[in-house]
Amino acid sequence: MTFEAELLVPAHGLPIKGTERINRVLGDLAHVLKPWLLRLWNS
């Protein structure tokens, strides 16, 4: 028996199933946070 990974995203409260979708969400989050973190680090 296998289980798909599940992630609860607080913004909309809907579960996102599947590793591809989780990777996409984390990639989008990293894309948004990277410039902010770089500014914070360099200040």
Instruction: Give pLDDT tens digits for 1-43.
Output: 454 555 545 555 556 667 778 888 888 888 988 998 899 889 8
Check if the beta carbon of residue 25 is closer than 8 Å to that of residue 35. no
Which is it for the CA torsion 41, 34, 12, 3, positive or negative? negative
pTM for the structure as a whole: 0.50
The DSSP call for residue 11 is T
Q: Which two tokens stand for residue 11?
A: 């913004």
Which is it for the CA torsion 2, 11, 24, 14, positive or negative? positive
pLDDT for position 1: 46
pLDDT for position 22: 81
The DSSP call for residue 7 is E
pLDDT for position 19: 79
